[in-house]
Structure 1
């Protein structure tokens, strides 16, 4: 029926990550349960088609089932009253075997952690996020329940990311963009990833057949970058440098990825590396009131200074960065000024 509710189809192995991304996008329907869609896929309930989360397809779902018990139900079973439940986390991320949540001073953290582990049977640790600090934007986390492990291996679209959540960042909300970068590259392309981290974009691109020059100055993230190249069997396609990306000289590059919120400061180096007719992907944290004028004008101004033509190909919102600020990406083709 045309008024049947919607469901997004995703591979089973990506179910937890997809649910987290759909929740962050604000389209996940907590009133219905997840159902199987064949032997290898899940039908995730959504209130409207997602725009920022990659799914196989969106279908109508006749005879929907009420959702299975959620966190609030489990806490109520443990004797929590409505006021206490209201203070419990409303969202969390499952990264590999670790659940990462913002507790924000809510009561009885351990009971919440144990309930979350009950909800996500594949996880063995719950960590509280307590902020980010330092030159390398290092996360601060605290073990709340379970084994207390901070190291894990997270899988997305077949790419494996080994990481330590107490030392490096991982954003579930960037999942669709990570997957997209593995789709836009072509076999044999030369790519420069200026802020490679643990391989967020480098690994999908290398797995797709690109040769990637990956630059990362954080020594811990760089160690995981090397480990993940081997883990995914793409070490022969990645040239990794622990350095400031402005100090790595490469030219004639087909594609540059600038996956950092302040990437505009590094545009001269990116434009210098790019060949004629190549593509640039510039990330930025932009106030909503300045979309899309600010990132595009910054890119055009840098192109003018460098004597390069800039053709904007796409403008995409990745996710919310903070109140009133969006994480966006501008794709552009870069040419030589005639």
Structure 2
């Protein structure tokens, strides 16, 4: 879309800042989705805008004399490459752009390299297409391979102002949990949900930060937004690669003073009387006894689980109640949410439980 004078404008930024700047330009309402992001020299890119940005920091604003239009859809781009209707039907219907990497699940998709090239054309801000083939083991290690673009898979992803450095071939990142990550920051900021009512805690004293135990911290999925919102977080992570990025990301987001990180099994970290426990792992129920013992009376445990639909909500709630009963404590269920489909007939859910 041209500006008021009919010019095709673009904001020039350094390549590492492209995702952050794009998010800021969208927030300003001046980002132009109809045109491609293109390189502007060896170290910068030109982000298409409908007007000169007033709030986003950019190197300069330039006029594009021959702007490149963005392909309308992936099927359109595949058709241009000679794909038949039957082949297009086998192409993925969804994917995620994480920093400079397009993460996609292929299943039985044909012509992988051509698909990768089309996705790079569709997303000019991306450099790499990575085929995701699952996550395995207690350390949640991804299985993936590059199918197009730059073989480098280390990037910085920005989400609601939180910056995540990661290598997608070494550590997992779930785009579908985006809303829940934002929600946990809002919980800490007091924008949603009831306050934690424990003596001397953040719920009763606005000047005292909430103390949070993030039992499966990863690269800081929940730790970082909660710390940025004002919580003091004890973060446990057993995977060495994820732990390294957790430390790096605390510094990257300037919350290193609010994050106490341990490379350890969360059951081996001595934590007690915290206001909140986050259990962001599908098999979290195996660690419920640890969570219940760590949370103060009146504190909240957020339990993630992959639950068959036929067992909603009896199984996750029942497991929490059993753990509380083993500890001689009571439980009040304050919230329960479907996050996303985990697999056919199975939901990723979160239950918020106040332990008394």
| Offset, 1:233 | 0.3
Moved more, 275-284 or 68-77: 68-77
Q: Does 1:303 align with 2:293?
A: no
The answer as to whether partners of 1:15 and 1:42 remain within 8 angstroms in 2 is no
Stretches of structure 2 lacking an aligned partner (at least 5 in a row): 1-17, 34-69, 190-207
Secondary structure at the aligned position of 1:286 is classed as strand
In 2, Cα distance between equivalents of 1:78 and 1:275: 60
Alignment counterpart, residue 39 of structure 1, candidates 19, 26, 29: 29
The answer as to whether partners of 2:19 and 2:100 remain within 8 angstroms in 1 is no
Q: Does 1:189 align with 2:210?
A: yes
Alignment counterpart, residue 219 of structure 2, candidates 198, 204, 208: 198
| Offset, 1:301 | 1.1
In 2, Cα distance between equivalents of 1:323 and 1:14: 34
Give the aligned partner of residue 149 of structure 2: 146
Give the aligned partner of residue 116 of structure 1: 119
In 2, Cα distance between equivalents of 1:106 and 1:81: 12
In 2, Cα distance between equivalents of 1:92 and 1:15: 21
Q: Does 1:233 align with 2:223?
A: no
Size of the alignment, in residue pairs?
A: 283
The answer as to whether partners of 2:71 and 2:122 remain within 8 angstroms in 1 is no
Give the aligned partner of residue 176 of structure 2: 173
RMSD: 2.2
| Offset, 1:278 | 0.8
Q: TM-score, normalised by structure 1?
A: 0.79
Stretches of structure 1 lacking an aligned partner (at least 5 in a row): 1-11, 18-35, 44-66
In 2, Cα distance between equivalents of 1:41 and 1:133: 38
Change (3 A) 1:207 1:41: farther
In 2, Cα distance between equivalents of 1:84 and 1:217: 42
| Offset, 1:107 | 2.1
Secondary structure at the aligned position of 2:351 is classed as strand
Give the aligned partner of residue 155 of structure 1: 158
Match runs of 1:53-132 below 5 Å? 69-132=72-135
Secondary structure at the aligned position of 1:220 is classed as helix
In 2, Cα distance between equivalents of 1:69 and 1:124: 19
| Offset, 1:140 | 1.4
The answer as to whether partners of 2:250 and 2:256 remain within 8 angstroms in 1 is yes
Q: Does 1:214 align with 2:235?
A: yes
| Offset, 1:38 | 5.8
The answer as to whether partners of 1:312 and 1:332 remain within 8 angstroms in 2 is yes
Change (3 A) 1:135 1:333: closer
Q: TM-score, normalised by structure 2?
A: 0.75
Change (3 A) 1:41 1:254: farther
Spell out, residue by residue over 1:64-119, the C-alpha distance to the aligned partner (whole angstroms, 9 max, x if none). Answer: xxx96211101111121111211222211111100011222422211111110111
| Offset, 1:237 | 0.3
Change (3 A) 1:263 1:15: farther
Q: Does 1:331 align with 2:352?
A: yes
Spell out, residue by residue over 1:107-145, the C-alpha distance to the aligned partner (whole angstroms, 9 max, x if none). Answer: 221111111011111000011112323441211111111
In 1, Cα distance between equivalents of 2:213 and 2:136: 27
Give the aligned partner of residue 264 of structure 1: 285
Secondary structure at the aligned position of 1:160 is classed as strand
The answer as to whether partners of 1:14 and 1:157 remain within 8 angstroms in 2 is no
In 2, Cα distance between equivalents of 1:154 and 1:97: 8
Give the aligned partner of residue 29 of structure 1: none
Change (3 A) 1:102 1:296: same
